[in-house]
Structures are given as C-alpha cells and as structure tokens.
Structure 1
Amino acid sequence: MKLVRFGPSGQEKPGTIDASGKLRDLSSIVQDIDVAALSPAGLSRLKATDLSGLPEVSGSVRYGVPVAQVPNLVCIGLNYTDHAEETNAPIPTQPIIFNKHTGALCGANDPVLLPPGSKKLDWEVELAFVIGQTCWHVSEENALNYVAGYMVLNDISEREYQIEWEGQWAKGKSYPGFAPCGPWLVTSDEVPDPQKLDLWLDLNGTRVQTGTTTRMIFPIKTLVAYLSRFMRLMPGDIVTTGTPPGVGLGMKPNKFMKAGDVMTLGVTGLGEQRQIVTPAQ
C-alpha cells in the first residue's frame, strides 16, 4: 500500500493511493497513519480494506509527512562508497549515526527554508524506512520484519553549521524544512528488495545525483540490527540511510543552494518530491 497524510499542515487526514493512482480517504478506517496503523495488526487491517468503497479525494492536495507523531529521526552518514570518496572521507567500518530534530520533518513538496545568513545549503536524496514495531537486539535475519515501509527523504544540510562550527552534525541538519519526506510511505511488502532501488536528484532541471542502493556500505537489514544494539527503536521512528554521490559539498568547486532554487528527486517505486528553496521569515 501507499499510505499518505494529506491536507493543510497540522490538519492532515490519513489516506492511501489505490491501484489506479486515486487518493482515497482512510478517515473512516484509522484515525491517522500512526503507531497503531503501522503495527503488523494495523497494516493487516488496512491491506484487507476494500479501497473502492472509500471516498475519493479529487483536486490538488498537499501531502504531509506520511507518518504522524514521529518519535525519532535517526540518520546514517557516509553510507555509499562513492559518496564517501567524493567528500574525501574514509570508508566507514561501522555505521555513522546521528540525529535530525523531528521538527525538520515536512511534506514532500513543502518549501525548504533557507536560514538567515546561510551560505552552504546542500541536498541529499535518500531512502528512508519506518519502524513498525518495537525493535531491540534483533538479528539481521529478522531485521526487515520490523520495517513497516519505505519512503523518499531529502536530508537537507547546512554544511557550514554541520562541519565548520564546533559540535555535532545535528545543528546543520535540523532546521525546519530540512527533512522533506514522502509523498507516501510504501509498505514493505511492496518493496521486495530495498537494495535494488535507484535514487536521483535534479537541481534546477540538471541531474546532479544518480545512485543505487546496491552501493550501500551497510544494507537496511544491517542498519536495523546495528541500531537495535544501541537503542530501542520505536514504532514510527524514521531512519534515513545515507546519500549517493553528487552533493554540492563533493563538487569542485563546491556548489550550494540559494533562494529560488528547485530540487526534484525520487527513488524507484517510492514517488517523487519537488521543493523550492525559500528564505525563512
């Protein structure tokens, strides 16, 4: 299934995209795309629903963050060999873990806010996954059973804040609008192999990122098992898994974004996003 939350910010309703591409309102079935809906029992109930009997939503709509009340947004850094190489970073021998504040989350086509005085705003198309049930000390063999679904996430980064200012990466990753995700969450049964997906991002109509999850250093099952050694992953947690090459930081000379720039991006089978860089008020 393709699960969505649609409507104005703060007033989103649960929905799904049916086989013909129509948006259907799930409000009569679930309160939201939340912990209960993403549990194994909740997903089974949704998949058994006759979508043809649900109200069709027509016209232009906004797609919000596909998951309600996200507890945590965990990120993996330098998880593609070719991205590590382009930034002159050593190939990690263990996953690099950091966090983005959940306040950075926004809808797939919402504006990406340019912080006042920002000079080094960068893009990162990524594959993200959502945890569906409590996950702690799990094996790689069972790890994918804890994944409710997958989606696109743009890990927007302010490189000056991230790299040149002292402290952790979070300050360069957490500004409001720095984590557009969606437009929908595709349930894991419709993604038979997350290690065979293509990723891409265009800046102002020019392709800058082209990648494939076959180049991940640590695949999804490894990340789930590894993270569960150090933290209890909770239902609704989002984990974003790193970006392929082609970011502005890796270009020679570096290239960063300005107000008015447009990003379009996507991942095989998971939909597309479009954001305009907009000065924060």
Structure 2
Amino acid sequence: MTAGAGVVWDELVAWAVGRGFAGFECLSGIPGTVGGAVIANVGAYGAQCSDTFVSAEALDLHDANGVPKVLTKDECRFTYHDSLFCREPGRYLVVRATFALPTNGAPRFAYKDNRFDLSVLATKNGRPPTLANVRNMVLDVREQKGNLIMEDRVSYKGAGSFFHMPFVSPQQYEHVKSRARALDAEKEERLRPWAWEQPDGSYKLAPGFLLEYTEFQKGHVRGAVGISPKHTLAIINVADARASDVAGLARDMCDAIEKIFGVRLEREVKYVGFE
C-alpha cells in the first residue's frame, strides 16, 4: 500500500483497519501526516511505523539533480522514534511511503500497561479482539490521557507525550527499582509494569512512572503552563503560556528525575528557534 506524504495519518489507519489490513491499529489517533509518521517513526502500544514500512520516495534537497530517490527500510535506519530523516534534518523531503500490511491479519499483543491490556478485552468479549476493537481501545485510552485530537473527543492544548521512554542498562534498572521501592514500595507495585526488558538485555522505562516520584505529577500547574490532569507526560498550555514557559517546565521535570534516579530524559518534542 502506497500513500502520499500529505495524507492524514489517522485517516490512513482507519482506512486500513476498515479493510482488514493489520499493522496500523495500535497507531490510531496519532496526529499528523504519513510523511511525519515516517520521519518520526511514530510508535505506540507495542507498534511502530517501521514495523510495516517498505520504502519511501524522497527528494534529497542536497542533490542538485532534484530526482526523487527510493529509500528502503534499511536505508532509512529506523530506531525508536527516530530515523535517517530525523538525524539529517532539512535534507530529505518525503513524497510518499509504501507499507506491507497483511490482509485479514490479527491484532498484535506486544504491549500492555495499567491502562492498555488486550488480553482483558479478549476475556471481556469471549474472543480475540478485532482490528476495529483494538483501534477503538487505543482511541479511548488516548482520550483518557487527554491527547486525542478528534472531533467530540477530549484534548488539552499540548504537543502530546513530551519525552522519550529512556533505555537503561540492567544495573541502572536495578538501581531505579531499588530507589523507587525505598521511596514508596506500594506505589512501585501499583504502577507495574513500568519497565520492559529488551532483546539486548536493556530495559525501557516509563517516564511517567519516574515522574510519579517528583512534584511534577498530573494536574501540576506553574503559572501559565502545567501538566495534563490526565497524562503525566503531556505539558499543556494553561493560559497563554510562552515557549520558554514550556521549555522551563520540561527542563525542571528532567532535572528532578535525574536527581532522584540518575536517569536523564530526552525530549520527544522538537524545539524550533531555541534550545
């Protein structure tokens, strides 16, 4: 399946799900376009754009010939929420992308947390969930977090999840776990799972879990900027906040986590015009 870079991403997801094409359902409700999804390698709930990506046609703006190039998946060098296009900003203009989606495919069960668990949905329905079931569940969870930009759905003024999920070594993971339990063992147990072991032995941590041990929790407000009352990772504009207000809060959130756990968060949101 090939789609132009300007196609609205969630419209493509809905189209695919409606026709029984599997692979996009967990990426429902993500704002932006197909081109943006490829560049950022968008991911959510155990899936990412690169899972089904085949190739992209792109213009290399450093090439005076102006002839579009076809870049394969390997050439795009996808990693977690990253790609060749992110690492060389301003060089490539994605024109269209091709994906391989299995027909009549089954939804993926690669992820769960304390809000999202497809096995619960399967038990409730008495059968494996359909692609449409998964899409609707993802949309509902996004609305619960207040970051679903869709008509008649709840959303706050923000840029979605502000920080990447950090990857740490086994030793760092044990330190974080030990520190969390020492600070509040009941909270650590209640918020599981908050870490996921990776094939290489490292661990991916939920930054929202780390923030639960700081002052920067849901509903926190500082002047014109704050944290969504529904989602710890969403910094929101409360009342005419400036970019510097948002950046300042984000910096302090990172500093607080590093001080407690020794883990430094990386921004998922890109700044334009200042650092």
TM norm structure 1: 0.25
Please identify which structure carries the higher strand content. 1
**Structure in which a larger fraction of residues adopt helix:** 2
- Structure showing greater radius of gyration is 2
- Greater relative contact order structure (CA < 8 Å, 6+ sep): 1
